Amino acid sequence: MIDFALSRASSPAEASEQAAKSKTAQQGAQVRYVAGGTTLIDLMKLDVETPVRVVDINRLELARTERQPDGSLRIGAMVRNADLAHDPNVVRDYPVLSQGLLSGATGQLRNMATTGGNLLQRTRCSYFRDLAYAECNKRTPGSGCSAIGGHNRTHAILGTSEHCIATHPSDMAVAMMALEARIHILNGQSEREVPIGEFYLLPGNTPNLENVLKPGDLITYVTLPPPVAGARSHYLKLRDRASYEFALASAAVVIHVDGERIRKARIAFGGVGTRPWRSPEAEHALEGKAADEATFRAAADAALRNAKPQRDNAFKVELAKRCLIRALTTVTT
């Protein structure tokens, strides 16, 4: 672990000002915020992240969840994953989010992990996390990708490129993708709002660029749209062991069935994509159709049609399909 300076921000604007001194907010950032520290500190110990300054944002007043007059729910970036999972509004109106959060990590980690930090957690690709492997385009642009042709059982099958096949590991972000969350960002004195569907970048030729954040950007809060009356939601995560494990495949489902027909569906996958994976193909295959097994199977086939499995992870194609079918069956019966 390299030496670094630690400072504490007393306001969001001050935090942003300190981070604006970094040349990038992506891999190689010279300034990083620390929230719960459960991703950042690990990666600093591994020398994958080497900031010269770490800005502690734990004292910022961003740890509240508030219902807004329009019925949306505003979640502060510093709300801990455990608190969010048990928030009465979330449990009642957005069960997919509560279930997604509770399926992640462990109780101790969820007590530390924050909403902003969870959105920005880095991949668990072992080649990215281990400096013994020189080839990693995400860590060192242009160096190659050891995972392609390496051990890639847990890697992505959707959204990959010839430069990177690293899986996005978050459960929370997958649920937020299906809920069509919006991410609020402060930079100095200016604020902007990004739909979560536009927040994450595909790896393409530049896997080191993971999202739209620029130097000085601070996530201040996330909003969830008002719950749709009659809609139901569910998160199903499949993994090698029942807890303390990342998803091999997961499905977040928000669905509104009107009589026999599906009026609206929002579908996202975890464990299979290079970013939390929204599937408009599945949504299209569901909307207007009967809520039955044939429809669910057609949606699953549509969602995985463009999957590009690697040597060790072809099993994920069928696993992700079954995951979606089971999640849809659970939520509609």
Give Cβ neighbours of residue 218 (< 8 Å, ≥ 6 apart). Answer: 12, 15, 16, 19, 33, 57, 77, 185, 186, 187
The correct pick among 9, 75, 120, 291 for binding ligand FAD (CB under 6 A) is 120
- By the rule CB under 6 A, 250 interacts with ligand FAD: no
Q: Which is nearer to ligand FAD, 32 or 275 (CB)?
A: 32
Estimate the crossing angle of helix 293-304 against helix 315-332, to 10 degrees.
140
- By the rule CB under 6 A, 187 interacts with ligand FAD: no
- By the rule CB under 6 A, 52 interacts with ligand FAD: no
For residues 160 and 308, the answer to whether their CB atoms sit within 8 Å is yes
Spatial separation of the C-alpha atoms in residues 69 and 52, rounded to whole Å: 42
For residues 319 and 248, the answer to whether their CB atoms sit within 8 Å is yes
- Smallest separation, CB 229 to ligand FAD (Å): 29
Stretch that binds ligand FAD, among 30-38, 133-141, 197-205, 322-330 (CB under 6 A): 30-38
Report DSSP state, residue 99. Answer: H
Q: Which two tokens stand for residue 1?
A: 């672990």
Q: Which is nearer to ligand FAD, 79 or 302 (CB)?
A: 79
Stretch that binds ligand FAD, among 35-43, 252-260, 288-296, 302-310 (CB under 6 A): 35-43
Stretch that binds ligand FAD, among 129-137, 168-176, 313-321, 322-330 (CB under 6 A): 168-176
Beta strands in 246-306 (DSSP E): 249-258, 261-270, 277-278
Spatial separation of the C-alpha atoms in residues 304 and 317, rounded to whole Å: 6
- By the rule CB under 6 A, 105 interacts with ligand FAD: yes
Spatial separation of the C-alpha atoms in residues 60 and 168, rounded to whole Å: 27
The correct pick among 102, 125, 218, 317 for binding ligand FAD (CB under 6 A) is 218
Q: Which is nearer to ligand FAD, 107 or 230 (CB)?
A: 107
Spatial separation of the C-alpha atoms in residues 138 and 207, rounded to whole Å: 5
- Smallest separation, CB 62 to ligand FAD (Å): 7
Q: Which is nearer to ligand FAD, 218 or 231 (CB)?
A: 218
- Smallest separation, CB 10 to ligand FAD (Å): 15
Give the pairing type, strands 73-76 and 261-270: unpaired
Stretch that binds ligand FAD, among 163-171, 176-184, 193-201, 274-282 (CB under 6 A): 163-171
- Smallest separation, CB 284 to ligand FAD (Å): 27
- By the rule CB under 6 A, 172 interacts with ligand FAD: yes
Give Cβ neighbours of residue 180 (< 8 Å, ≥ 6 apart). Answer: 195, 196, 197, 224, 225, 266
Residue ranges that bind ligand FAD, judged by CB under 6 A: 32-40, 42, 57, 77, 81, 104-105, 109, 112-114, 116-118, 120-121, 169-172, 218-219, 246
